[in-house]
Amino acid sequence: MTEPLIRKSTSAVPVEMAGYPIEETDCFLWLDHMEQFAERCFGMKVALRKMFLFPSQLPWKQVLPIFKPGLTNREMVDKVFVSRKLITPYELVDVMKYSSSGASASRLYLTERSMKPTLATMGLPPKFAKHWFAGRQTAPLNLCGYGIGTSLCYEIEKQFLDPETWTWFPENTLSGGDVAYGGCLPGLALVGFLCFDSSYEDDDFGFREVICLKPKT
């Protein structure tokens, strides 16, 4: 990979949460895909519409639901990539060395199904993530969720997330301060998990904004 260029920060334009009635998006179709994927990869039968509270509107028409059961980063790589032998994972650093790599409660994220990260974040360094997401009802996608999401996209559409760009995972950091990011090499069916300095800025890097759905009680 070519080392990214350093440049000055750009200002981010907020992404509106209100947009399209959820029935006018393809969210429900992709929820079906995600449920089938969870059964194949995780051995879990889930009914996501019964498990989580959904908003009435979404800011995107093309939606990627990402169901993240209580997996560690290593369990995600093993179940989504290694055991299925469809996609090759590459780890510059052991994915368990990043912060927030352990198991957590099950989550369902909704994000835009786009080959690029959220456009308003392109070029922003990962150290800016806290400031950019402050006051929002959204969060940046993490490494574990990204692996699930890009694998689902490949299975359904034969497309990866980030065929020409890179997504930062600002909640996944190393003890020295480097931040994880991901991307792919489509010709090799390879997904890479790498890391770089938190102050790096480059037009081909950004965050993926996700809506974190609350479980029904």
Is 91 inside a domain boundary?
Answer: yes
Is 137 inside a domain boundary?
Answer: yes
How many of the other CB atoms lie within 10 Å of CB of 7? 12
Is 10 inside a domain boundary?
Answer: no
Question: What angle, rounded to 10 degrees, do the helices at 143-157 and 27-42 form?
Answer: 100
pLDDT (tens place) for every residue of the chain, 217 residues total:
333 332 333 333 334 456 899 999 999 999 999 999 999 999 999 999 999 999 999 999 999 999 999 999 999 999 999 998 889 999 999 999 999 999 988 999 999 999 999 999 999 999 999 999 998 889 999 999 999 999 999 999 999 999 999 999 999 999 999 999 999 999 999 999 999 999 999 999 999 999 999 898 7
Is 1 inside a domain boundary?
Answer: no
Q: What pTM did the predictor assign? A: 0.90
Burial call 82-119: b when 16+ CB within 10 Å, e when fewer: eeeeebebebeeebeebeebeeeeebbbbbbbbebbbe
Per the structure, how many domains does the chain have?
1
Which pLDDT does position 7 carry in this prediction?
Answer: 31
Is 178 inside a domain boundary?
Answer: yes
Is 105 inside a domain boundary?
Answer: yes
Which class for 167: exposed (0-12), middle (13-18), buried (19 or more C-beta within 10 A)?
buried
Q: How far apart are the first and last CA of the chain?
A: 45
Residue span of the structural domain in which 126 resides: 20-213
Which pLDDT does position 71 carry in this prediction?
Answer: 95
Query: 3-state DSSP call for residue 212?
Result: strand
Which pLDDT does position 18 carry in this prediction?
Answer: 65
Is 128 inside a domain boundary?
Answer: yes
Is 4 inside a domain boundary?
Answer: no
Which pLDDT does position 17 carry in this prediction?
Answer: 53
Which pLDDT does position 44 carry in this prediction?
Answer: 94
Which pLDDT does position 5 carry in this prediction?
Answer: 32
Q: What is the DSSP-derived secondary structure letter of residue 80?
A: I
The structure tokens 């392109």 sit at: 122
Paired with 111 in beta bridges are 64, 210
